Structure 1
Amino acid sequence: MKKIGVLTSGGDSPGMNAAIRAVVRKAIYHGVEVYGVKYGYAGLINNEIDKLEIGDVGDIIHKGGTKLYTARCEEFKTPEGRQKAIENLNALGIQGLVVIGGDGSFRGAEKLTELGYPTIGVPGTIDNDIPGTDYTIGFDTALNTVIDAIDKIRDTATSHERTYVIEVMGRNAGDIALWSGLADGAETILIPEEEHHMEDIVGRLRRGHERGKKHSIIIVAEGVGSGPEFSQRIKEETNLETRVTVLGHIQRGGSPTAYDRVLASRLGANAVELLLNGEQGCMVGIRNNKVVHKNISEALSETHEIDRDMYRLSQELSI
């Protein structure tokens, strides 16, 4: 294999640039040319593909977002779109592709593999919802962004003796909510993987208020529902002064943490190794701090599981 491509797709996540850098430099170290595809799968179809040199990925390891940009692409979901993408890659002599992104991006990689085009997936999403890896690139940075925000909100919640509902991202996965809630001592954590009952939430708030607690923090994962709606219901049922904060896309940005930079570097480099060793249709991941790889189709057939021991711990510590 003498030429490979790399793209980022779906939602951006901190550490994607570190992964791009690792792919480019690892490949060049082994004498392989690297081509960057702009705007994800749309770039494959529109032939927005440029050769990358070592200097092109200098000074990006510490930057959030993605140097290659990202976009959604409906055309790639069609057989004609995918065939056009492969034709553009073949015309440039690109023999393999590294796809950095979440489950939607992996499904695109799976389709390319089914058509005989060697593709390796690198999990890049703040949601941490990809089976086959303990952590995805960007999760740690997003988590620390959320924790910093909650710390600040707790200051004003204490000063004004208020209950705050904080809505965090994560789509249908509750990892950001669970980890940030446990790390910040939230009184209640609502995640899509576990049922919740409003009477339990209200009861916990009332018990806390009766023993003299002046403020509370409630973390709501976006997959559960709307933060503002929960805030309004709590205010109506408890008569406590309640405020809501929706953190939104601030969670996707920012300089990646040391953990995300190292994780991205390890996974990006391993993806290149897999291509050079003739592997295809795989995803790379981290298990017990060891880099592993797994069949993409197998991973996509599984369901992401929350750490329920951690969830139970959060409930025990929030009495």
Structure 2
Amino acid sequence: MQDIQRIGVFTSGGDAPGMNACLRAIVRTALTNGLEVTGIRRGYEGMIEGDLVEMERRSVSNIVQLGGTILKSARSEAFMSEEGRQQAAEHLRENGVDALVAVGGDGTFRGASKLKEEHGFAVVGCPGTIDNDLYGTDQTIGYDTALNTAIENIDRIRDTADAHNRLFLVEVMGRDAGFIALNCGIGGGAELILIPETITEMDVVKERILSLMSAQRRSTIVVVAEGDDLGGAQGIERALRDDPEFSDIELRSAILGHTQRGGAPTAGDRVLASRLGVASVEALLDGHSDVMVGLVNEEVKLTPLPNVYGRRKSIDYDLLKLTQILS
């Protein structure tokens, strides 16, 4: 077991509501166990540039309710090279960092594994991404908040859609995974849900929309993940506007975009982030490395990082069948 005196903590990749709650838990758990803590600003980019700061209990006071991340986040092309990682490792050693807790997603964990493999740092990952697509945990930090933000917006759009009997195409985040689209579509009462995990045929989409709009003469909400193979909401809108059969249908598209990333985290995300933050430090103290802490059936589980970024979590296809029944 590696003797750990100081841990470094950082957030990387896309920000997610609840990251600050996770940082708070990591810092205070480490300090409670007699460890010192270094915060690394701007993820791997800050690691390369030596943008490091000492963290104490008051460093994370009054942040549990904040969205975003107080340590900031950034993408780093330089870290993809051996030279960049060497420079990052040198800055960590100069500051006495023995181990790392990385809060982020797939790319963050790949980088952490590289630091362990090439430079011997003990590393543990906390799953922070709104996409909820990481294998090894039932839910990722930020997902619950993003989901509730999307549903709140769909409810608002439904009001105006009903007022005008309009068709709304609502695009939510999910470049490679349809967790947000699937669950906010069900929760928001969408008549049609389109996700990257399924093949979307435009003719089928058109037929379904015409059936809903013409036969029932009512508003229709279609939720589409940004990574759907028809090009998201705007791609579908273009195709519909070019079809004469839709000339009499009032059509609008709404892209929720980064509204899903921001805002105060829900209670669920705050509790999840706190549990995983504590578990990450405890995993390091127990001698574990190159693992992600996750919550599976309400129990903390450790998954090797290569198993996390080497595979994707599958959606619940029973929920997909449910949408066909409910619409």
Could you say whether these structures have the same fold, taking a TM-score greater than 0.5 normalized by the shorter chain as the test? Answer: yes
| Correspondence list, 1:76-91, <5 A | 76-91=79-94
Q: Give the Cα separation in 2 of the matches to 1:160 and 1:210.
A: 14
Residue deviations 1:100-155, cap 9 Å, x none?
Answer: 01101111011111122111111101111111111110000000000000000000
TM-score (norm 2): 0.95
Q: Which amino acid aligns with 2:138?
A: D
2:283 is aligned to: 274
| Correspondence list, 1:223-302, <5 A | 223-224=227-228, 225-235=231-241, 236=243, 237-239=245-247, 240-302=249-311
1:30 is aligned to: 33
Q: Which amino acid aligns with 1:206?
A: L
| Correspondence list, 1:69-80, <5 A | 69-80=72-83
Using the TM superposition, give the Cα deviation of residue 249 of structure 1 relative to its aligned residue in structure 2, in angstroms: 0.7
1:187 is aligned to: 191
Which among 207, 216, 219 is matched to residue 215 of structure 1? Answer: 219
1:92 is aligned to: 95
Q: Give the Cα separation in 2 of the matches to 1:186 and 1:39.
A: 38
Aligned length: 318
Q: Give the Cα separation in 1 of the matches to 2:275 and 2:6.
A: 20
Q: Give the Cα separation in 2 of the matches to 1:249 and 1:304.
A: 23
Which among 39, 46, 59 is matched to residue 56 of structure 1? Answer: 59
Residue deviations 1:74-119, cap 9 Å, x none?
Answer: 1111111111111111111111000001101111011111122111
Q: Give the Cα separation in 1 of the matches to 2:7 and 2:317.
A: 40
SS in 2 for 1:306: coil
Using the TM superposition, give the Cα deviation of residue 296 of structure 1 relative to its aligned residue in structure 2, in angstroms: 0.2
Q: Give the Cα separation in 1 of the matches to 2:226 and 2:205.
A: 17
Which among 160, 167, 172 is matched to residue 163 of structure 1? Answer: 167
Q: Which amino acid aligns with 2:123?
A: T
Q: Which amino acid aligns with 2:319?
A: M
Which among 315, 319, 322 is matched to residue 306 of structure 1? Answer: 315
Q: Does 1:134 pair with 2:173?
A: no
Q: Which amino acid aligns with 2:195?
A: I
1:316 is aligned to: 325
Q: Give every structure 1 segment of 4 or more consecutive aligned residues whose post-TM-superposition deviation is greater than 4 Å.
A: none
Using the TM superposition, give the Cα deviation of residue 300 of structure 1 relative to its aligned residue in structure 2, in angstroms: 1.7
SS in 2 for 1:293: strand
Q: Give the Cα separation in 2 of the matches to 1:130 and 1:230.
A: 28
Using the TM superposition, give the Cα deviation of residue 301 of structure 1 relative to its aligned residue in structure 2, in angstroms: 1.6
1:113 is aligned to: 116
Q: Does 1:154 pair with 2:197?
A: no
Q: Does 1:10 pair with 2:13?
A: yes
Q: Give the Cα separation in 2 of the matches to 1:71 and 1:210.
A: 47
Q: Give the Cα separation in 2 of the matches to 1:104 and 1:23.
A: 20
Residue deviations 1:169-221, cap 9 Å, x none?
Answer: 11211111001001111011000001122222222222223443311000110
